[in-house]
Amino acid sequence: AQKITQTQPGMFVQEKEAVTLDCTYDTSDQSYGLFWYKQPSSGEMIFLIYQGSYDEQNATEGRYSLNFQKARKSANLVISASQLGDSAMYFCAMREVNPSGGGADGLTFGKGTHLIIQP
Amino acid sequence: ETGVTQTPRHLVMGMTNKKSLKCEQHLGHNAMYWYKQSAKKPLELMFVYSLEERVENNSVPSRFSPECPNSSHLFLHLHTLQPEDSALYLCASSWEDGRADTQYFGPGTRLTVL
Looking at chain A from residue 57 to 116, which residues have their Cβ under 8 Å from any Cβ of chain B?
Answer: 91, 93-98, 100-112
- Give the pLDDT band (50/70/90) at residue A100: low
**Mean pLDDT for all residues in chain B:** 92
- Nearest residue in chain B measured CA to CA from A107: B45
**A102 has pLDDT over 70:** no
pLDDT of residue A87: 98
**B1 has pLDDT over 80:** no
Name the minimum distance, in Å, from the CA of B85 to any CA of chain A. Answer: 17
- What stretches of chain A adopt beta strand conformation (E)? 3-5, 10-14, 19-21, 24-26, 32-39, 46-52, 60-61, 64-69, 74-79, 88-96, 108-109, 113-118
pLDDT of residue A115: 98
Closest of B82, B106, B81, B79 to residue B92, by C-alpha = B106
Looking at chain B from residue 25 to 44, which residues have their Cβ under 8 Å from any Cβ of chain A?
Answer: 31, 33, 35, 40-43
- Beta bridge pairs of residue B111: B11, B87
- What integer is the mean pLDDT of B20-48? 94
CA distance linking residue A47 with residue B87, whole number of Å: 21
Contacts with A28 (C-beta within 8 Å, 6 or more apart), sequence order: none
Whether B94 and A47 lie within 8 Å, measured CB to CB: no
Name the minimum distance, in Å, from the CA of A10 to any CA of chain B. Answer: 13
DSSP string for A35-52: EEEEE-TT---EEEEEEE
pLDDT of residue B59: 87
- What integer is the mean pLDDT of A85-114? 86
- What stretches of B1-114 adopt beta strand conformation (E)? 4-7, 10-13, 18-25, 31-37, 44-50, 53-57, 64-70, 73-79, 87-94, 104-105, 109-113
More confident residue, A64 or A102: A64
Instruction: Say which of A31, A43, A106 has its CB closest to residue B48.
Output: A106
Cβ-Cβ contacts under 8 Å, A107 against chain B: 35, 43, 45, 103
- Nearest residue in chain B measured CA to CA from A44: B107
- Give the pLDDT band (50/70/90) at residue A1: confident
